[in-house]
A and B are shown apart, each in its own frame.
Chain A
Amino acid sequence: MEDEPQSKRRLLQQKHTAAGIHAPLRVFHPSSSPRREDADRSYFQSYSHIGIHEQMIKDRVRTDAYRDAIMRHQNLISDKVVMDVGCGTGILSIFCAQAGARRVYAVEASEIAIQAEIVMRDNNLSDKVIILHGRVEDIEIEEKVDVIISEWMGYILLYESMLTSVIFARDKWLKPGGLILPSHATIYMAPFTYDEMYESTINFWRNVYGINMSAMIPHAKLCAFEEPAIETIGGENILTWPSEIKYLDCYTVAARDLESITTEYRFRSLVQAPLHGFAFWFDVEFNGPAVVPSESHSQLTDGSSSFNSSNGSSHRKKRVKSDQVIVLSTSPEEAPTHWQQTLLYLYEPIEVKQDQIIEGSVTLAQCKENSRFMNIQLQYRFCTSSTGGQSFVKESVLR
């Protein structure tokens, strides 16, 4: 019986059959190296699998945030030229057309582009929305664009790393001073406790229909905790104020900035609880091009005055965002999204006391084997008042 990952967003290596619909499409043939092509092909095939699109559109938090952001920036979109990077079924392109865009170039490498083309025709938008079936790196258009819109975010923001395609599009096709939606993105991290999950996956084996199956526990732990899990937790599971792992400005970020991200963190536990692991999530903001991000955000004090930053990047625990800014958040505190949260479990829970310091560093790095995979290396240390505590490492791969 199958052991299929629950998450639809993950690579589903299902072969897609183009449905025999022949629409006038511009197909661009990728010209890059064959190796990269292969990796891309399976990725793009998985994206033409329709269940994913259904799931993404049904994620109202996501789709509504985009629609609101497009309507909010209508003055910058109306009568302008838009590029939708990775348009999927074309829903964002339609929103832009609705907001008055003069033309939308909707770029999509997977076979879903064929359906997107028909969707535009069925909704009488074929003259405004031009579907370009190909990779954004390969397409050619005759004008620069005023706006780039894309839903490029993956788990922990960067898994599947479609941001590099957005960066490519920005550098090649965006007019100076153009708008990028979303404009900014932040990765957060916090330790969590999740007794229910631990009970159901691990302690489950202690009593199965009255039978002691503890022998399964080591295996069950390996099975459940070796790789990062995509699960939904709530604010009550989070033990501390979150720490910001990375803040990205889509107007300025470069592809090389995404290859490896290392940040030190320091948490002070707000409660006494068993710590089961570390949770990661992200949010994205939809700002205009003029906003200078470092000044638009203030820092919350959280009682951990001893917090120090040693790698030079600013450590904001939690940014206050004005009501003016539209934020799509995948935080455990907010309504669940299809991104859920990414949980890195430790093999053994650790009992932390109130005010206990948990510190260390985390590295998110593009996997060398497949650039859409992500290596996560977590170093952590539990400090007691007297000692510095022993430092441990946990390595895992999001695949």
Chain B
Amino acid sequence: MAKDVIEFRRSEEFEDVIEEEEDEEEEQIEQWDDWQSDKEDSSADFLCLFCSSRFGSVEVLFDHCRCKHFFDFHSIVREWSLDFYGSFKLINYVRSQVSENKCWCCGLEFQCSRDLQNHLHPAPSFDKDGKFLWEDDHYLKPFMGDDPLLHSFGGDEDEEDDPMTINKEEIMRELVVHEKLPRLCNGGHSILNGDASVSNTFTETEDKTECIHILGNNFEGKPTDDIIFKPCDEKHKDGQLRESFANVTVKEIRNVNEKYFGAYGSFGIHREMLSDKARMDAYQGALLNNPSLINQATVLDVGCGTGILSLFAAQGGASKVIAVEASKKMAAVATQIASDNGLLSDNTTKGREKCPGVINVVQCMVEELDKFIHVLPSSVDVIVSEWMGYCLLYESMLSSVLYARDRWLKPGGAILPDTATIFGAGFGRGGTSIPFWENVYGFDMSCIGKEVMEDSSSAPIVDTIDSREIVTETAAIHSFDLVTMKLDDMDFTSSFELKLRTESIDGITTARTRSCYGMVLWFETGFTSRFCKEMPTNLSTSPYSPKTHWSQTILMFREPIVLSSSDITASMTGAVGTEECPAVAIRSRISIARSSAHRSIDVSLEPQAISSDGRKRSWPVQIFNL
């Protein structure tokens, strides 16, 4: 992926890049990427012992093995006092075990490397006097034909003799720790069982283990080498070392995977989004059916995810697509997918018959795009993004889209979608779980239903609601024009009015008095004829439309408000909004504002019931935090 970024930088369109900076930046990019493709590169030829990652330096490789695979080469070498040949054999031994999908330290065998990588755990306590697993001399034979790691792993004895900066005090401490280590290792099991005394010992030796680690690095590393001790690095190492004493625990399995695959846990959501037909059809329609907009256009995809919108844009005839994705893994995946579909822009395909693709995937926040590639200000024809969150604005990427618009969109350029509107409507009893609790196996549990009401009057519920439960007309609450809106417009206050929905089934008008238990919010985004001249389209998440993965957002009132159509004359007594005096309308102000928590929003509601004779009854403001 890094390569693609680099090549992209070099591509003709961006030749005005300042040359001097290039090398520096290249190196930087290299470091961001631990997902090296299998493209050979002279600066990245150390293959990881456990996975297919390649690294430019031995230290980075061992760091990776320690963090990702619980294999701490240096501390193993130290703990078992391995000499050069011992370390040499260890590397070959681990490679041979991994090739058979076996755990290098406990010998368990797995069906595939994924199972093995899930399993990998810190080394348990080996019997120091016993034989090493890699004792056999046949491990002196390099397991891999050409394994540069074997002559670079840093077990140089000359350097070990080097007194360097080790002072006496540290050596003494190291000795103390060494004495303690085997005991601690043997206690591994009781640590797991939560034995308090062992845990205490642990805490005491914490600082010492750190010390021995630094010592170890001095021993193994070449002084001239590019070992950098960052403070945060050190802290990490300390933790890692402690972990290596305990056997594998759930948390560690979990942690290693989280580190490994970053945001992979959200893959389910990508499938959900790609399976969301309403969403896909709207974007696909906008990008494929509007050639006058997309053909030969430069398109910027903000938050590309799997890259599906970029692929549609490429299919639609875009001459260049810049797909920006902040997640490292998703950017790598998007690159791969674009490449698999022959749509990745790649200089290496130049000169061949095959026409190069047009998609350039850039892994960064869109706000930092300039640091990675050069895009001329006001040079983009179309910005496309699927930025909408629950209730439109929750965890939305709208601010990123607006940033991209202001910086790169040509005057008169298009934003897809270009409008967004929040709607609301009131729902009845059937939209709540109250009826369920009124009769549970013949018993009255309505008190629990009341509890549900109270709970949800401050926490919105993201769920779908059946359109049959909606009792009012739909009110448009707020509209955004993506072309002109400003960032601060994201926080807004609007007023709206809900009136009883006049519904007639087979010519018979149904119930003229209904209780409204709360309101449901949804949104629509438009790909309007302003830009989509050939075929405008609309993406709706309304309860009247097929379900989407956004569902709807349900806000419950503190108490139901009884509504009737205006032709019923209300009694002059009784509170407005009750059975005695039904309201003819619910009026409310609503505010939606970004809350202090990142990408979260607060919704406030001030419902007011209006009677036919103009009397009003207000409820205290309700604040919902989504």
Among B373-381, B448-456, B565-573, which stretch is in contact with chain A?
A: B448-456
Q: Which of B77-85, B262-270, B291-299 contacts A (4 or more CB under 8 A)?
A: B262-270
Q: Name the segment of A186-194, A315-323, A332-340, A365-373 touching the other chain.
A: A365-373
Closest to A211 in B: B311
B451 partner, pick from A1, A50, A393, beta carbons under 8 A: A50
Please tell me if A204 contacts chain B, counting CB pairs below 8 Å.
Answer: yes
Contact with A along B466-496 (1 / 0, CB 8 A): 0000000000000000000000000000000
Chain B residues whose C-beta falls within 8 Å of the C-beta of A95 in the assembled complex: 441
Q: Cβ of B271: which chain A residues have Cβ within 8 Å of it?
A: 201, 204-205, 220
Whether A54 contacts B436 in the complex (CB less than 8 A), given A208-B308, A220-B267, comes out as yes
Tell me if A354 counts as interface (CB < 8 A to partner B). Answer: no
Quick one: CB contact mask for B412-443 with A, threshold 8 Å, 1 for yes? 00000000000000000000010011001101
Q: What per-residue 1/0 map shows which CB atoms of B321-345 lie under 8 Å from chain A?
A: 0000000010001001100110000
Given A212-B337, A214-B340, A215-B337, decide whether A3 and B266 contact each other with a Cβ distance below 8 A.
yes
Tell whether, in the assembled complex, residue A63 and residue B441 are in contact, meaning their CB atoms are under 8 Å apart: yes
A119 in contact with B308 given A54-B433, A212-B340, A395-B118 (CB within 8 Å): no
Q: Does B111 contact A (CB under 8 A)?
A: yes
Q: Which of A91, A115, A208, A219 has most B Cβ within 10 Å? A: A219
Select one of B108, B274, B433, B443 contacting A123, CB under 8 A: B443
Task: Name the contact of B249 in the complex, choosing from A1, A94, A211, A369 (C-beta under 8 A).
Answer: A369
| Residues from chain B with Cβ under 8 Å of A216 in the complex | 267, 270, 306, 333, 337
| A35, closest chain B residue (CB) | B194
- When the two chains form their complex, are residues A373 and B268 in contact, meaning their CB atoms are under 8 A apart? no
Q: Is A347 an interface residue (CB 8 A)?
A: yes
The reply on A348 being an interface residue by CB < 8 A is: yes
Residue contact A226 to B257, C-beta cutoff 8 Å: yes
**Interface residue B534 (Cβ < 8 Å from any Cβ of A):** no
Query: A115 and B261 in contact (CB under 8 A), knowing A201-B271, A375-B250?
Result: no
Q: Note all chain A residues with C-beta closer than 8 A to B462.
A: 2
B512 at the binding interface (Cβ < 8 Å)? no
- Taking a contact as CB atoms under 8 Å apart, the answer to whether B441 and A122 are in contact is no
For A213, give the chain B residue with the smallest CB separation: B337
User: Given that A1-B389, A219-B333 are known contacts, is A348 also in contact with B112, CB under 8 Å in the complex?
Assistant: yes
Chain B residues whose C-beta falls within 8 Å of the C-beta of A53 in the assembled complex:
448
Chain A residue nearest to B114 (CB atoms) is A347
Residues of chain B within 8 A (CB-CB) of A91 are: 440-441, 443
B75 proximal to A (CB < 8 A): no
Closest to B445 in A: A119
Choice from B389, B441, B455 contacting A50 with Cβ under 8 Å: B455
Q: Which of A216-249 contact B (CB under 8 A)?
A: 216, 218-224, 226
| B residues in contact with A35, CB < 8 Å | 194
Kindly list chain A residues whose C-beta atoms are within 8 Å of the C-beta of B455.
16-17, 19, 50
Q: B456 → chain A, closest Cβ, in Å?
A: 10
Cα A122 to Cα B306 with chains together (Å) = 54
Cβ of A394 under 8 Å from chain B: yes
Contact, CB under 8 Å: A347 / B261: no
Decide yes or no: A219 and B341 within 8 Å by CB, A119-B445, A208-B308 being known contacts. Answer: no
A213 pairs with B306, CB closer than 8 A? yes
Contact A211 to B115, CB < 8 A, known contacts A3-B265, A89-B440, A220-B271: no
Q: Which residues of B have CB within 8 Å of A67?
A: 441
Whether the pair B440, A211 counts as a contact (CB closer than 8 A) is no
In the complex, how many angstroms separate the beta carbon of B491 from the nearest chain A beta carbon? Answer: 21
Q: Name the A residues within 8 Å of B109 (CB-CB).
A: 390-393
User: What is the minimal beta-carbon distance from B283 to any residue of chain A, in angstroms?
Assistant: 10
Q: Is the CB of B261 within 8 A of A1?
A: no
**Of the residues B118, B337, B444, contact of A211 by C-beta under 8 Å:** B337
The reply on A61 being an interface residue by CB < 8 A is no
CA distance A360 to B389 in the complex (A): 46
Q: Looking across the interface, which residue of chain B has its beta carbon closest to that of A221? A: B114
A98 to B91, CA, bound (A): 71
Contact B337 A369 (CB under 8 A): no
- Across-interface contacts of A209 in B (CB, < 8 A): 274, 280, 284, 308, 312
- Asked if A348 and B250 make an inter-chain contact with CB atoms under 8 angstroms apart, the answer reads no
Closest to B390 in A: A1
A399 at interface, CB cutoff 8 A: yes
Within A68-104, the residues touching B (CB, 8 Å) are: 89, 91, 94-95
> Once the chains bind, are B448 and A89 in contact (CB under 8 Å)?
yes
Known A122-B446, A214-B340; judge A115-B306 contact (CB<8 A).
no
Number of chain B residues close to chain A: CB under 8 A: 62
Select from chain B the residue with minimum beta-carbon distance to A122.
Answer: B444
Q: Is A397's beta carbon under 8 Å from chain B?
A: yes
Interchain nearest-CB distance for A4 vs B (Å): 9
Which of A1, A63, A375, A396 has the largest number of chain B CB atoms within 10 A?
Answer: A1
Query: Is A118 interfacial (CB 8 A cutoff)?
Result: yes
- By a CB distance below 8 angstroms, the chain B residues around A58 are 436
Q: Indicate whether A346 sits within 8 Å of B337 (C-beta atoms), given known contacts A1-B269, A3-B266, A397-B254.
A: no
How far is it, in angstroms, between the C-alpha of A122 and the C-alpha of B395 when the chains are bound?
43
Nearest CB in chain A: distance from B463 CB, A: 10
Q: Does B447 contact A (CB under 8 A)?
A: yes
Give bound CA distance, A375 to B254, whole Å.
12
User: Does residue B549 face the partner (Cβ distance < 8 Å to A)?
Assistant: yes
- What residues on A are CB-neighbors of B452 within 8 Å? 50
Q: Are B261 and A219 in contact (CB under 8 A)?
A: yes
Question: Are the CB atoms of A119 and B115 closer together than 8 Å?
Answer: no
For the complex, give the distance between the alpha carbons of A214 and B437 in Å: 47
CB nearest to A397 among chain B residues: B250
Task: Determine whether the beta carbon of B340 is less than 8 Å from that of A215.
Answer: yes
CB of B17 closer than 8 Å to a CB of A: no
**Contact residue among B251, B269, B329, B340 (Cβ-Cβ distance under 8 Å from A369):** B251
Q: Is A383 an interface residue (CB 8 A)?
A: no
Q: How far is the CB of B429 from chain A (nearest CB, A)?
A: 16
Query: Are B447 and A118 closer than 8 Å at their CB atoms?
Result: yes
Residue on B with the closest CB to A216?
B333
* Smallest beta-carbon distance A329→chain B, Å: 21
Let me know if B451 and A211 touch, CB within 8 A. Answer: no
Once A204-B271, A213-B306, A216-B333 are accepted as A-B contacts, the answer to whether A89 and B445 lie under 8 Å apart by CB is yes
Instruction: Give the residues from 115 to 137 in chain A that come closer than 8 angstroms, CB to CB, to chain B.
Output: 115, 118-119, 122-123
Task: Output the residue of B115, B194, B257, B437 with the most chain A CB within 10 A.
Answer: B115
Q: Is B193 an interface residue (CB 8 A)?
A: yes
Cβ-based interface call for B95 (8 A): no
Evaluate contact between B250 and A367: CB separation under 8 angstroms: yes
Q: Which chain B residues border A211 with CB–CB below 8 Å?
A: 308, 311, 337, 341
Known contacts A119-B445, A367-B250, A395-B119; decide if A223 and B265 are in contact (CB<8 Å).
yes
Contacts of A367 in B (CB 8 A): 249-250
Please, how many angstroms separate the alpha-carbon atoms of A91 and B440 in the complex? 8
Which among B251, B390, B448 has the highest number of chain A CB atoms within 10 Å?
B448
Asked if B110 is at the interface (CB within 8 A of a chain A CB), the reply is yes
Report chain A residues within 8 Å CB of B440.
57, 89, 91
Task: Determine whether the beta carbon of A215 is less than 8 Å from that of B333.
Answer: yes
Residue B575 interfacial (CB < 8 Å): no
B268 touching A119 by the CB < 8 A rule?
A: no
> Contact at B308–A346, with CB atoms within 8 Å?
no
Cβ contacts A to B, 23 pairs, < 8 Å: A54-B433, A57-B440, A57-B441, A123-B444, A204-B275, A209-B280, A214-B340, A215-B337, A215-B340, A216-B333, A222-B114, A222-B261, A222-B267, A346-B111, A368-B250, A369-B250, A390-B109, A391-B109, A392-B109, A392-B110, A392-B111, A393-B110, A395-B253
7 nearest interchain CB pairs? A215-B336, A118-B447, A223-B267, A392-B111, A397-B250, A115-B448, A393-B108
Q: Which residues of B contact A (CB under 8 A)?
A: 108-112, 114-115, 118-119, 192-194, 249-251, 253-254, 257, 261, 264-271, 274-275, 280, 284, 306, 308, 311-312, 329, 333, 336-337, 340-341, 389-390, 395, 433, 436-437, 440-441, 443-448, 450-452, 454-455, 462, 549
- Given A91-B441, A209-B312, A397-B250, 8 other A-B contacts at CB below 8 A? A2-B462, A17-B455, A91-B440, A204-B274, A216-B306, A223-B264, A226-B257, A392-B109
